[in-house]
């Protein structure tokens, strides 16, 4: 296998040879699978680790769970670097399930990486680890705050991020990257839900829909992670939020995604305070009547996300990664619409 080409830290700086053997955890999800495919294309020797098949041609699949110490140890053997994306992602569910994967699974991965001599880990987190519900306007990547993060996912990811930072202080090269609201063809978490609910008339806009929100188109996310991997030893210790750098009114963005998916634009409007109260009630009822195959239609956290501004200063991210998003929001919507028309589906 030919190693990926060398790249330089800066135009006048020393050249570095990026790692060639990469483990990508969570490659059955859109982002992990897309990053693994791109790394294969670029000549990296890629291993993927997840519970189901990744579907990444040219990668070595290792099947297993972060809850299985032996499987994790097997996956990290012989690797130069790890991109750790695997997580339990949901707005509902038992806290213990999140703890087992997001916190204890991260500990197992770092323990196994240390024992195997892996020197570099790109840890994938979420801006929600530092979000307590208030508006974020041009915010930096603040420290993870488990005590104030909203919901089991954000709280356990915040605790896991602190674990990653501690391991970085102990000698592993660790970079924390927080992609914000990744969307595009193939996305189940945001894109498909918006389109499905808009098609069924169950997608409300909260308030005026005017708060500015920044998102990240899938192709841009992939290239950002490739850039982070190549520059990982040089930017170790950093935490970076990743977005397109194009804040849009959230109502405009939701309507754009719905329309690109062939759905009518949502017309139902709900006051944010009503949505938050309803979300809290739905969360409690969901917990009592679960488990469920789908996510609850509304939660307190989701109502906050849909009614408050949250966008981030991208200057440091772009400087450190030497990366700029190539696909604009408008171009992303066109690509999504073309994909839906061509295939008849979002995935």
Which percentage of the chain shows pLDDT scores above 90? 72
Q: Is the pLDDT of residue 11 over 60?
A: no
- Report how far residue 148's alpha carbon sits from residue 32's, in angstroms, rounded to the nearest whole number: 28
- Report how far residue 25's alpha carbon sits from residue 64's, in angstroms, rounded to the nearest whole number: 10
- Grade residue 288 by pLDDT with cuts at 50, 70 and 90: confident
Q: What is the pLDDT of residue 8?
A: 37
Q: Is the pLDDT of residue 311 over 80?
A: yes
- Report how far residue 299's alpha carbon sits from residue 253's, in angstroms, rounded to the nearest whole number: 20
Report pLDDT digits (tens) over 196-239. Answer: 989 988 888 898 999 999 999 999 999 999 999 999 999 999 99
Q: What is the pLDDT of residue 18?
A: 60
Range in 38-52, 119-133, 265-279 the model is least confident about:
265-279
Q: Is the pLDDT of residue 263 over 70?
A: yes
Q: What is the pLDDT of residue 13?
A: 40
Q: Is 201 left (phi over 0), alpha (psi -120 to 50) or beta?
A: left
44 catalytic, yes or no? no
- Report how far residue 347's alpha carbon sits from residue 340's, in angstroms, rounded to the nearest whole number: 8
What CATH number was assigned to the domain covering residues 7-183+215-243+311-326? 3.40.50.720
* Contact yes or no for 30/56 (Cβ under 8 A): no
Map out the domains of the chain as residue ranges: 7-183+215-243+311-326
* Contact yes or no for 210/249 (Cβ under 8 A): yes
DSSP 226-238: HHHHHTGGGSTT-
Judging by DSSP bridges, how do beta strands 120-124 and 205-206 pair with one another? unpaired
CA 338 to chain centroid? 24
Q: Is the pLDDT of residue 15 over 80?
A: no
Q: Is the pLDDT of residue 37 over 50?
A: yes
């Amino acid at each position: 296998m030919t190693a990926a080409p060398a790249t330089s830290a800066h135009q006048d700086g020393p050249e570095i040879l990026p790692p060639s053997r990469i483990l990508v955890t969570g490659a059955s999800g859109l982002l992990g699978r897309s990053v693994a495919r791109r790394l294969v294309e670029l000549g990296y020797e890629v291993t993927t680790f997840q519970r189901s098949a990744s579907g990444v041609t040219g990668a070595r699949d290792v099947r297993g769970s972060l809850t299985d110490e032996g499987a994790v140890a097997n996956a990290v053997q012989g690797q130069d670097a790890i991109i750790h994306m695997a997580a339990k992602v949901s707005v509902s569910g038992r806290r213990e399930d999140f703890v087992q994967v997001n916190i204890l699974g991260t500990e197992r991965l770092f323990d196994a990486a240390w024992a195997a001599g892996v020197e570099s880990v790109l840890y994938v987190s979420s801006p929600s680890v530092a979000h307590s519900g208030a508006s974020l306007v041009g915010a930096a990547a603040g420290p993870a705050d488990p005590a104030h993060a909203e919901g089991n996912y954000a709280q356990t990811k915040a605790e896991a991020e602190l674990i990653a930072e501690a391991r970085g202080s102990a000698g592993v090269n660790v970079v924390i990257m927080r992609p914000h609201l990744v969307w595009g063809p193939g996305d189940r978490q945001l894109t498909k839900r918006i389109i499905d609910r808009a098609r069924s008339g169950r997608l409300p806009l909260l308030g005026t829909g005017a708060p500015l929100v920044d998102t990240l188109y899938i192709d841009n996310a992939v290239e950002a992670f490739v850039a982070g991997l190549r520059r990982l030893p040089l930017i170790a210790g950093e935490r970076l939020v990743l977005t397109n750098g194009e804040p849009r009114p959230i109502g405009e963005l939701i309507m754009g995604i719905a329309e690109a998916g062939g759905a009518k634009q949502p017309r139902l409007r709900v006051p944010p305070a009503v949505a938050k109260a309803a979300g809290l009630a739905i969360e409690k009822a969901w917990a009592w009547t679960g488990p469920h195959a789908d996510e609850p239609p509304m939660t307190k956290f989701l109502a906050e996300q849909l009614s408050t501004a949250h966008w981030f200063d991208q200057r440091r991210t772009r400087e450190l990664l030497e990366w700029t998003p190539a696909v604009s929001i408008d171009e992303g919507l066109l690509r999504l619409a073309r994909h839906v028309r061509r295939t008849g589906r979002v995935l």
